[in-house]
Chain A
Amino acid sequence: MSTANTSTVTNTGPGKPLLEVKDLRVAYGKVEAVTGIDLTLREGQLVTVIGPNGAGKTTLLSAIMGLLPSKGEIHFDGEDYVSPEIETLVGRGLGLVPEKRELFNTMTVADNLLLGAFQRYRRGDDSYEQTLSEVYSLFPRLWERRQQQAGTLSGGERQMLAIGRAMMGKPRLLMLDEPSLGLAPLITREIFRIFADLRRQGVSILLVEQNARAALKVADYAYVLEGGQIAMQGPAAELANDSRVIEAYLGLASKHQELLSS
């Protein structure tokens, strides 16, 4: 079994780096939740960050998105940004589907989606109508419910809406925070299939997941986060077979490994 947890391993591969994070630190008050993370995502890649609860996954995404102040370097598309404004980042092609979805509950599904294209509309980019029909064909359920208020949707539909809304901005890098959260296996499977599709279409994706198997299956490269640090990294296919990943992050006692690998 290949070991992929040493710091010498990095995300090398074709495509130039789209997102590079160096020694990123984020603190809530006096408590550091992310303590020095290096992470690379190359153009066209689907990179996943997995890890147990409280490992700092959401914090990492929030910092990259500019929702939280952070120390260290973040480069997106070659440019570094120092305490950026979210609006600028969205304009430059960063999109985030947050863990809490953050939908506009009292507005219709259609309006939620349209607002996803706000920046494109502002720039005078009219092709968002095209994207809208793409999103509807990807999620027929949203088309059925387009006149319904977002607050009345079920958990799975809400997640589809959140992803669809982010896609409306045509991001170059789509970041997803726990998209399988609270979803039934069938829907989870469907959503992960869509990620694979998106990746094939050339969208780069940074996927934060608790559902390790599913995430490792679709990803090119993976990071395992623990206690605010990268504990392991490597090509996703290799990590998927690493017993320590399962142990470290699932926290279930090692005596059950037989069961897990069966």
Chain B
Amino acid sequence: MNFQIALLLGQDGITNGAIYALLALSILLVFTVTRILLIPLGEFVTFGALTMAAIQMGKAPALEWLLLALTLIECGLDAYHFRSNLGSKRIQTMVLKVAYAVVMVVLIQMLPLAELPMAFQALLTLALMVPLGPLMYRLFFQPLADAPALVLLIVSIAVHVAMVGVGLLLFGPEGARTEPFSDTAFRLGPVMMKSQTLWVILVSILLIVTLFLTFERTLYGKALRATAVNRTGARLLGISPVFAGKATFGLAAFIGSLSGILIAPITTLYFDSGFIISLKGFVGAIIGGLISYPLAAVGAVAVGLIEAFSMFWASTYKEIIVFTLIIPFLIWRSMTSHHVEDEE
């Protein structure tokens, strides 16, 4: 291996690592606030990428119908739940939600999707994807808010399995790649840097900084942190777990689908590629001990780099090498931990 190859691999590694870092942060965020390990995060990535690809090809991605269907189910359940005191405010919210989904359906059917500017295509994709996060929380997890962690994990896996099937139904078995954001490339030393690499790194850094500021400076961000620190305490101040759950799932859907849009020009994604991608985010989160954001982010970038370099040395064992990465961390944590707890 020479310097040039190392730089190329490093470039790949950092690009993927940045995406894994974003995913690791969403995983931690959702986990600390809701106790849910968000396995279906990977499906946000693939759905985002495949929706973007469909839009670029001028095809209606069919996701809008899923959004409408889930919104109607949610409103139906809410109406049933609050049947005795269905205030005007609740009805208003429901009408707004359904109206949003209907508008999305109309937009997707009417707009000349392929001719839209790319930024608008990306916005459209996000507008379709982000509401799926809170919807997922409402329909699948909210009724189980007090369930043992084990049940939440099982439901999380079940939702992932169902979403992979839905992905196949919506997007078909073919893989897809999208246009890069811009075509320019530039030289860094002996290597040509692809501009998409820069896009990924830039957007990731921007997103991480924004998240940091949100959680440090805004009251809504602090409220989510508070829920993670002490759920009962947060409830007593009127920060509802439902609010926290929907907000974090919305953020996860946003980060996941944005990640999908970012890597779609670099990697061909299939309806079932999401799992393995999100698992690498999980490796980062485990390195961070399911608690530390900086450690998780650094770990995730390391996963990207190790993956890229093992591609060069031992490509057939790439995935195995990445997943065995967690072993030293598990050993270290086992050696330092002495607790016995009742998890129920």
- Check A-B contact in the complex, CB < 8 A: yes
A106 interface contact, C-beta 8 A: yes
Chain A residue total in the interface (Cβ 8 A): 29
Task: List B227-273 residues whose CB lies under 8 Å from chain A.
Answer: 229-230, 232-240, 243
Check if A169 is an interface residue, CB within 8 A of chain B. Answer: yes
Contacts of A5 in B (CB 8 A): none
Query: How many angstroms between the C-alpha atoms of A165 and B223 in the bound complex?
Result: 13
Whether A105 touches B238, Cβ cut-off 8 Å, given contacts A111-B222, A114-B222, A121-B219, is no
Render A55-70 as a binary contact track against B, CB cut-off 8 A, 1 for contact.
0000000000101000
**Could you say which residues of chain A place their CB within 8 Å of the CB of B219?**
114-115, 118, 121
List residues of chain A with CB within 8 A of the CB of B238: 86-87, 90-91, 118-119, 169
Known: A115-B219, A115-B223. A102 touches B240 (CB 8 A): no
* Residues in A whose Cβ lies below 8 Å from that of B225: 104, 107
Q: Is A98 an interface residue (CB 8 A)?
A: yes
Taking CB atoms, residues of chain B closer than 8 Å to A90 are 236-238
Query: Whose C-beta in chain A lies nearest to the C-beta of B223?
Result: A118
Complex CA–CA separation, A87 to B243 (angstroms): 10
* CB-CB nearest in chain A for B236: A96
Interface readout for A70-109 with B: 1 if CB under 8 Å, 0 if not?
Answer: 0000000000001001110011000110101111111100
Tell me whether A116 is interfacial, beta carbon within 8 Å.
yes
Indicate if the CB atoms of A115 and B226 lie closer than 8 Å: yes
Q: Given contacts A114-B222, A118-B219, A118-B223, is CB(A87)–CB(B235) below 8 Å?
A: yes
Residues facing B in A118-176 (CB within 8 A) are: 118-119, 121, 165-166, 169
Instruction: List 25 contacting pairs A-B, 8 Å CB cutoff, sorted by A.
Output: A65-B236, A67-B232, A86-B240, A87-B243, A98-B232, A101-B233, A102-B236, A103-B233, A104-B225, A104-B229, A104-B230, A104-B233, A105-B229, A106-B229, A107-B225, A107-B229, A111-B222, A115-B219, A115-B222, A118-B237, A118-B239, A119-B238, A121-B219, A165-B237, A169-B238
Q: Which residues of B contact A (CB under 8 A)?
A: 84, 219, 222-223, 225-226, 229-230, 232-240, 243
